[in-house]
Structure 1
């Protein structure tokens, strides 16, 4: 009888350890992406077209946007995949 009570106490004690309260913190990170105001344009300079053709053979220009700093945001399609490329007015590709 003592062994039965002792076994039950050990078993219940072991189960209560696993059912302990875990303190979890939920942290929410808000990120704000700053974007310059880009305005859609109909044509881009020839230097940009040449630079894109050299960098991405078979590129198709879908849409082009320009901001006040004369930086261009260009939506392109290369081999069926759409992408966004940022350049300056002389055709240098920018990292953004």
Structure 2
């Protein structure tokens, strides 16, 4: 009888030591998407087209955007390579 009680106590004691405290850390990532102030347009002024043709022979205009300052952001493809060019309304290329 003593052996039965002793083995039950050992068994129950062994089961209780299996429980362990696990530290959990919650990682929260905040991402902020900053949208520039450019709005997509359908057509660009002729001065910009002429300036791009002179600067980049064989240029293809993909998309064009304009902001409140009348600065244009133009996505172009030249010889299969995509680029972004910034210009003003008269066709002067801006460095950004």
Shorter-chain TM-score category?
0.5 to 0.7
Give the Å deviation of 1:39. Answer: 0.1
5+ long unaligned stretches in structure 2: 1-33
1:95 and 1:77 map into 2 onto residues whose CA distance is 18
How many residue pairs get matched?
65
TM-score by length of 1: 0.64
- The one-character-per-residue Cα deviations of 1:1-34 (angstroms, maximum 9, x if unpaired) are xxxxxxxxxxxxxxxxxxxxxxxxxxxxxxxxx7
Structural RMSD (CA): 1.8
2:64 and 2:83 map into 1 onto residues whose CA distance is 12
Q: For the pair shown, which has the larger CA radius of gyration, 1 or 2?
A: 2
- The one-character-per-residue Cα deviations of 1:21-56 (angstroms, maximum 9, x if unpaired) are xxxxxxxxxxxxx77400000000000000000000
Q: Indicate the residue corresponding to 1:26 in structure 2.
A: none
1:75 and 1:63 map into 2 onto residues whose CA distance is 5
TM-score by length of 2: 0.64
